[in-house]
Amino acid sequence: MDKLSVQFNKDHLVNEFKEVIADAEALLKATANTGGEKLAEVRTKVQESIGVAKSKMIYVKADAIAKANAAAKTADIYAHDNPWRLIGCAAGIGVLVGLLAGRR
């Protein structure tokens, strides 16, 4: 897989995980008035797990941002070091797209 799709998958995973945490918190609030010692014990464990998950997600988000910034900086350096190569690639892609569009 290329780095862009990996980054997209990480972002998608982070968003899905945030939704799960929000749903779990809503469930905890909805069952707050329900009695029972066992339920209170489970509720406490879930709250602790949510706290740990949130702190880990903050780390994952910071790591993803750092990697994205590093990739952008690398691309910027490459573009400045090889401008004619990039112009040639862009022109080649433009010709290829033009040829494919002209066939239709």
- Predicted confidence (pLDDT) per residue in 39-73, tens digit: 777 777 777 777 777 777 788 788 888 888 999 99
> What is the pLDDT at residue 14?
74
> What is the pLDDT at residue 19?
79
DSSP 10-51: HHHHHHHHHHHHHHHHHHHHHTTT---HHHHHHHHHHHHHHH
- Predicted confidence (pLDDT) per residue in 12-44, tens digit: 777 777 777 777 777 777 777 766 776 777 777
pLDDT > 60? residue 2: no
